[in-house]
Amino acid sequence: MVLRRIGALSLAKVMCALYAALGLIIGAIVAIFSLFGAAIGASSGGSTEPFMGVLFGVGAVVFLPILYGVMGFLGGLIGAGLYNTLAGMVGGVEVELMEG
């Protein structure tokens, strides 16, 4: 079986969901580290505003999944378009499927 064409919008939606999930995980990690840093800065009497660390952490959880989702959608759309164009020239990818 040869894979000759990929549905561009279908791949873009899947990539959007995968990248948004990855952005959520990375955003959560950034949030944890920024909250930890804000707590250390507040306890050591630093001159920086501790709320900035909290704001940055919450912003990362909201902003990074959206950013990663948009990048994944565009990357999937462009990647599928490129694959479809090149598969038309070279014949596609050979895939072997097994019945379960």
- Taking 90 as the threshold, does the pLDDT of residue 35 lie above it? no
Chain segment 73-91, per-residue pLDDT in tens: 999 999 999 999 999 999 9
Phi, psi at residue 20, to the nearest 5°? -65, -40
Residue 48: band (very low, low, confident or very high) from pLDDT cuts 50, 70, 90: low
Q: How far apart are CA 43 and CA 51, in angstroms?
A: 13
Going along the chain, which residue ranges are E strands?
Answer: 2-3, 93-94
Q: Which of 69, 52, 60 is nearest to 27 (CA)?
A: 60
**CA-based max dimension of the chain:** 66
The residues spanned by each domain of the chain are: 17-92
d(CA 34, CA 69): 22
Q: Report, as an integer, the average pLDDT of 57-76.
A: 93
Antiparallel, parallel or unpaired: β 93-94 and 2-3: antiparallel
How do residues 12-21 score in pLDDT, each as one tens digit?
999 999 999 9
